[in-house]
Amino acid sequence: MEWSWPESAHVVRVIVAVILGGLIGLERELRDKPAGFRTIILICLGACVLTIVSKVIGGPDGESTRIAAQIVTGIGFIGAGAILRDRQSVYGLTTAATIWAVAAIGMAVGFGELGLAVLGTLAILVALFVFDAVEHWIGDRRDIQEYHILTANRDGALDRVRGLFDNAQLHIRKWTCYEEGSSLVIHMVAMGGKTRHERLRVMLTRSEQYTLTKG
């Protein structure tokens, strides 16, 4: 078996893949995400090397995208492992999407599209840093919270509670209620700004007519 040092172009691409993957991995590591610094680097590096191998095996007249095409499938399995489901919530979608995007960066580097890879890396960092702040800003205004309210079972009790949410400018997404002795237990799921939720909870806590329970 003949051994030879890889071409200088390949060496440069491997180094660039490590650097670009490291930049994205550093952001993930600082946020203490499951796919951190080393993981993201390895994904970017692996996609790059597989792409280079695909080009070498394929040759100038061969099918150089056969191996590279399988990277997308393989990355799909890794990304799926980063997604967790807990009751009605799903976690890890951003991490899975980042893994998929980083693999694309590695492939771009492997094909020699360094400018595209750098641009893609910058776009990913903008999405993770800037858009994260925007997402939190929107989330603060679309916060969903549950309320379990105990009140006297009198005529119009439910309407009065609904009125409290309307006055607090909270949108009621769903509600249920049932009698418990002489009391009425009302379960509300409402959406709105966090500060509005806090004000309503303070008001309910201080009120003698209502009691917040854990459900």
- List pLDDT tens digits, range 23-62: 999 988 888 887 789 999 999 999 999 998 888 877 655 5
Q: How many residues does the chain have?
A: 215
Between 108 and 70, residue with greater pLDDT: 108
15 and 66 part of one domain? yes
169 and 131 part of one domain? no
Q: Which of 116, 139, 162 is the last residue of a domain?
A: 139
Q: Is residue 1 part of a domain?
A: no
Q: What is the pLDDT of residue 163?
A: 92
Name, in order, each residue with C-beta under 8 angstroms of 96's C-beta and a sequence gap of 6 or more.
79, 80, 82, 83
Percent of the chain with pLDDT over 70: 86
Which range in 74-78, 85-89, 93-97, 124-128 is most confidently predicted, on average pLDDT? 124-128
Pairing of strands 143-152, 89-91: unpaired
Q: Which of 110, 139, 168 is the last residue of a domain?
A: 139
Q: Is 97 exposed, middle or buried (0-12, 13-18, 19+ CB in 10 A)?
A: middle
Binned at pLDDT 50, 70 and 90, residue 2 comes out as low
Q: What is the pLDDT of residue 130?
A: 83
> Residue 38: helix, strand or coil by DSSP?
helix
In the chain, the number of structural domains is: 2
Calculated CA dihedral for residues 96, 102, 106, 111, nearest 10 degrees: 100
Alpha helices in the chain (DSSP H): 8-30, 37-58, 66-81, 93-110, 114-141, 157-167, 194-206
C-alpha separations of 57 from 39, 44, 54, 77, 177 in Å:
27, 20, 5, 25, 67
Q: What is the span of the domain harbouring residue 194? A: 142-212
Q: What is the pLDDT of residue 87?
A: 54
Q: Is residue 2 part of a domain?
A: no
110 and 174 part of one domain? no
Q: Is residue 39 part of a domain?
A: yes
Does position 91 have pLDDT exceeding 80, yes or no? no
84-99 mean pLDDT: 71
The chain-wide mean pLDDT, for the chain, equals 84
84 and 171 part of one domain? no
Q: Which of 105, 139, 173 is the last residue of a domain?
A: 139
Pair 68, 110: CB distance under 8 Å: yes
